[in-house]
Amino acid sequence: MPELPEVETVVRGLRKTVLDKTIAKVIVDAPVKSIVVSESFKSKSFEAILKNKTIKQINRRGKNILIELSGDLTLWVHLKMTGHFYYKDVSTEKEKHDLITFQFKKPDSNFKLIFNDYRRFGRNRLYYSNEVMEQKGLKELGPEPLEISSDDFVTIVQSKNRMIKPALLDQSLIAGIGNIYADEALYASRIHPKRLFSSLSKKKLVELHEHIQRILSMAIDNMGSSVDTYTGVNGETGKFQNYLKAYGNEGGACERCNKIIVREKIGSRSAHYCPKCQKI
């Protein structure tokens, strides 16, 4: 699943391509579950509501994309596992997994925005802007990892008697961190993923906070990690996978001590770590 750096890259790509454009037409070829329309619209269709709406702002909250439209509307998108936005010439042929096509009014009618998702787990939800942040999936999100101070981070996590790796993946604790960047931050901090937050000193937690922010920022600068199907709006892959030290490197040598990186299931997710540098 795309994590904070990948979603941030998509958001920046959307700002460069579709900001201030007005939607002329929306074509939907998606499963019913892929699209949610607020009951406030009284049975009006997704396509009808979006027609003639102008894209005003595009933001990110955790792993969620929030597209603010004229008429006080917000299109809330979660890419899930394989969702993509692509900005293409209007003449390009529809592909098998193109689920939603946004066409624009002149002078932007030569291009279209495609939501493509071959596993069809992605979600496009349409709400009035004053109700979207009260929806399940948004209202319970924790603070942004790039915005939270080290003191606030320590205060939040130090009281948790939980294993660190599963806790970092808990979006109600910190929003946006996923498997890749949790593994990388713990490796950089030399913290075993099974350690309890409550077992770590404030100094060690401050160090972890610094590594989380450094690694996420570096990943954004490199357009995210393309370890599966992820690409940006322009179809380009990310480059941060070239800098990964732990995630996906099971069986390889730790660059610090040459011990073999292991992969272990912790909770419901796998963790990659060095058993020598990251002692439990």
d(CA 35, CA 49): 13
The residues carrying an active-site annotation are: 2-3, 63, 269
d(CA 259, CA 254): 5
For the cut 90, the answer to whether the pLDDT of residue 231 exceeds it is yes
For the cut 90, the answer to whether the pLDDT of residue 229 exceeds it is no
For the cut 90, the answer to whether the pLDDT of residue 267 exceeds it is no
Per-chain mean pLDDT for the chain:
96
pLDDT of residue 238: 96
For the cut 90, the answer to whether the pLDDT of residue 228 exceeds it is no
Query: Nearest-5° angle of CA 23, CA 29, CA 31?
Result: 120
Q: What is the pLDDT of residues 42-97, one digit of tens each?
A: 989 999 999 999 999 999 999 999 999 999 999 999 999 999 999 999 999 999 99
HEC profile of 1-38:
CCCHHHHHHHHHHHHHHHCCCEEEEEEECCCHHHEEEC
d(CA 11, CA 68): 12
Same topology between domain 4-132 and domain 150-273: no
For the cut 90, the answer to whether the pLDDT of residue 227 exceeds it is no
Q: What is the pLDDT of residues 111-162, one digit of tens each?
A: 999 999 999 999 999 999 999 999 999 999 999 999 999 999 999 998 889 9
Model confidence band, residue 104 (pLDDT cutoffs 50, 70, 90)? very high
pLDDT of residue 217: 98
pLDDT of residue 220: 98
The ranges assigned to domains in the chain are 4-132, 150-273
Model confidence band, residue 202 (pLDDT cutoffs 50, 70, 90)? very high
Closest C-alpha to 121, from 83, 85, 67: 83
pLDDT of residue 159: 85
**Architecture of the CATH domain 150-273:** Orthogonal Bundle (1.10)
Specify the fold of 4-132.
Answer: N-terminal domain of MutM-like DNA repair proteins (3.20.190)
Question: 2-11, 190-199, 223-232 — which is least confidently predicted?
Answer: 223-232
What number is the average pLDDT over the span 235-264? 97
What share of the chain in percent tops pLDDT 70? 100
The size of the chain, in residues, is 280
For the cut 90, the answer to whether the pLDDT of residue 1 exceeds it is no
d(CA 51, CA 184): 43
List Cβ neighbours of 17 (8 Å cut-off, separation of 6 or more).
87, 111, 113, 233, 234
